[in-house]
Amino acid sequence: MNTSAKLIALLLLCAATGVTHAACSYDVVVGDYLRFSTPEVSVEKSCASVTINLRHEGTLAAKIMGHNWVLSADADVQGVATDGMSAGLANNYVKPNDARVIAASSVIGGGDKTTLTFTTADLSAGGKYTFFCSFPGHSYGMRGKFSVTL
């Protein structure tokens, strides 16, 4: 394969797998199911900030099928999710002032949308990060790899 054929093959592969590549802003869709439309997020350290536009295309209320977008180091996912359960919907299922949380959006229900913006200053290129939904019971299915590249 020549270079352009390889590039086209790579683009087709990306489209087929739904993997999105480095950008500073992502549109993420959720619904009345346990899945993010964007299975992976990759940002460049040069992004001064990262923006996640979260939209819930479903109809169920936040207290039934709410979703948020929470970022932490891989090792902290379980602890953040467990403590988030106790924090309740009033705290968007995130323990207040949880230092393990790098960024967290509000919990939204069907028909709602929210935007989360956070700095890349505290993120390390090559670091192991995971984004997930901290609504009780959702973090196992609703999670994905978050990577930072130079």
Kindly state the tokens that stand for 136.
Answer: 């009780």
The DSSP element (H or E) to which 11 belongs, if any, is: helix 3-17
Q: Are 30 and 36 in contact (CB under 8 A)?
A: yes
- Of the two residues 35 and 100, which places its CB atom closer to Co ion in the complex? 35
Q: At a CB cut-off of 8 Å and minimum separation 6, what does 11 contact?
A: none
Q: How far is the CB of 45 from Co ion (least distance, A)?
A: 28
Does residue number 54 form part of the binding site for Co ion (CB under 5 A)? no
Q: How far is the CB of 53 from Co ion (least distance, A)?
A: 16
Calpha distance 107→109 (Å, rounded): 7
Measured at CB, which residue is nearest to Co ion? 133
- Which residue in the set 26, 36, 43, 67 belongs to the binding site for Co ion (CB under 5 A)? 67
Does residue number 56 form part of the binding site for Co ion (CB under 5 A)? no
Give the footprint of Co ion on this chain (CB under 5 A).
Answer: 67, 133, 135, 138, 142
